[in-house]
Structure 1
């Protein structure tokens, strides 16, 4: 049964360790792995069948509004690629919004692709699995658009929860959900903080720079995958060592900075210096680098810690368990 309109949503994510090992230039030589968590901040996509009486065939609304007669004329590359992938040429109105800014290191472009593809299937009356949605998002972003990104964000958005993803040499992805006790999950989030640097950045520029240095960064990425494995094992330990978790995150951040001189910025260094003064267990800049959010983990988040970060917007994340879903159909 086809529908007239669909509202779809997909979560953003925090990537703790392993980023960069989900790119073909690495995992085709050695398996990559990432530990990440979907959070309770979302990208929303509303899709509506467009009446032929309108002059345009497609109306696409985001930070801009597009009116086009042909699919190939759509400037929003993700919308264009997803429509091409599913071979959809019927008139549509597509609009998107999000809880947080784009280009902030939380995987928003892939969350958009996942939510859009899920919605496009739904409007045709099709139910699809998280694996199919994640793989289709990878095909759209990496295959069609040739974006120099990895596969972790699409899977995190599609599945939700906290997961360990392993990227095999043949391109397949192994998903291991990390089931912490409710107590440990609560404590982990109580100790976690996201700090907005005030800067957005286009990941493609930084990731393209990293890709050009892929061979020289190979050994550092091997070390990062070992840190990710240790992080996973530590999370599943019945006696969680929070200081060690933080230390692993900081070790990964130090290695990541060696990938490109575009990753850190003056504002990032100012925030991390304050975090050092506050005896933070560990921290890292999320995403490709150049701005966005910093993730930090403390023994506890006290008023003193928050006062020390008064110059920056902060919030505590919560876990999303459901992943991509259809909110409503009509």
Structure 2
């Protein structure tokens, strides 16, 4: 049997960082995000031998091993092995079947599009289909979160897993005890189209390790640093404001909130921005951008810009000459999807 799955990457529009503990546990977090037509893909199939096979196709790396020897050691296939071990432990009574697992993504790790968490979600969705586990969106997202954050000990928040599982425009609430509420938004067609025409996605060419940034942010909250805490409360409020601007179709307000949120986010941790990001932002504003922000934890990866659609070509040309890559992208309403072949 062959099972395939895919899950969409996301753009963090507002509130990113408030989904990270301890802030979300102490104060509650609000995040506004949307999924795009860039995906993480996985295939789970019967093994070709009595060995378990894990292939990280992006990295050109494969591990073949006795199922009894599969562990959580760092490496290109760690996410795959983590999902395999948790599913075997939680749903198969500890039995470890020989399987072949392959995966790849449309975006590199450290892109700021939630690629690592989306990869875990698509892997969970594939195993869910392969073993007939009948997990719903909340269960897939929560399981992916536990595997990545608790089993593997990787730093980060919760929004990426839920965005990948649900898809579309979502206003998310995060509370203590891993309680999450996903509120899908019904966005009018003309707002959807206008925002797509207004948004420019730019890859700086520099992937970054988000863990150090997230750890600094969490440390600032634990230590009660006023500037960081005030910035996070502003981000939380701006997630609500962005939700309202989308539902009302007020895209001028949308741009204002995005820029205000980016200015607040810079105060959460010292490494969120840097001279390269500042230079790209200045270039964009000189060529028609109305708002800018880095997607994800910061420090590099993808940046997004909002402009009047009539200024889009000028902005794209300017950014294309800055050493990075402009990506053509569209929103997608679909979350994690899995299907059987044969």
TM superposition score normalised by structure 1: 0.93
What is the match of residue 148 of structure 1?
A: 155
1:309 match: secondary structure: helix
What is the match of residue 61 of structure 1?
A: 56
2:133 match: secondary structure: coil
Aligned length: 323
Alpha-carbon offset, residue 324 of structure 1? 0.2
What is the match of residue 232 of structure 1?
A: 243
Cα distance in 2 for residues equivalent to 1:288 and 1:302: 26
1:184 match: secondary structure: helix
Q: Residues 65 and 52 of structure 1: is their aligned pair in 2 closer, same or farther, counting only changes over 3 Å?
A: closer
Find out whether 1:252 has 2:261 as its counterpart: yes
What is the match of residue 198 of structure 2?
A: 191
What is the match of residue 39 of structure 1?
A: 36
2:43 match: secondary structure: strand
Cα distance in 2 for residues equivalent to 1:286 and 1:293: 6
Alpha-carbon offset, residue 235 of structure 1? 0.9
Give CA-to-partner distance per residue, 1:75-134, whole Å, 9 cap, x none.
433222212221261111111112222210000011100000110121112332111100
TM superposition score normalised by structure 2: 0.90
What is the match of residue 5 of structure 2?
A: 8
Q: Which runs of 4+ in 1 moved over 4 A?
A: none
Give CA-to-partner distance per residue, 1:218-266, whole Å, 9 cap, x none.
22111110011111111111xx332221111111111111122222133
Cα distance in 1 for residues equivalent to 2:254 and 2:271: 26
What is the match of residue 81 of structure 1?
A: 82
Cα distance in 2 for residues equivalent to 1:303 and 1:295: 15
Cα distance in 2 for residues equivalent to 1:100 and 1:23: 22
Q: Residues 24 and 187 of structure 1: is their aligned pair in 2 closer, same or farther, counting only changes over 3 Å?
A: same
Structure 1 unaligned spans of 5+ = none
Structure 2 unaligned spans of 5+ = 89-94
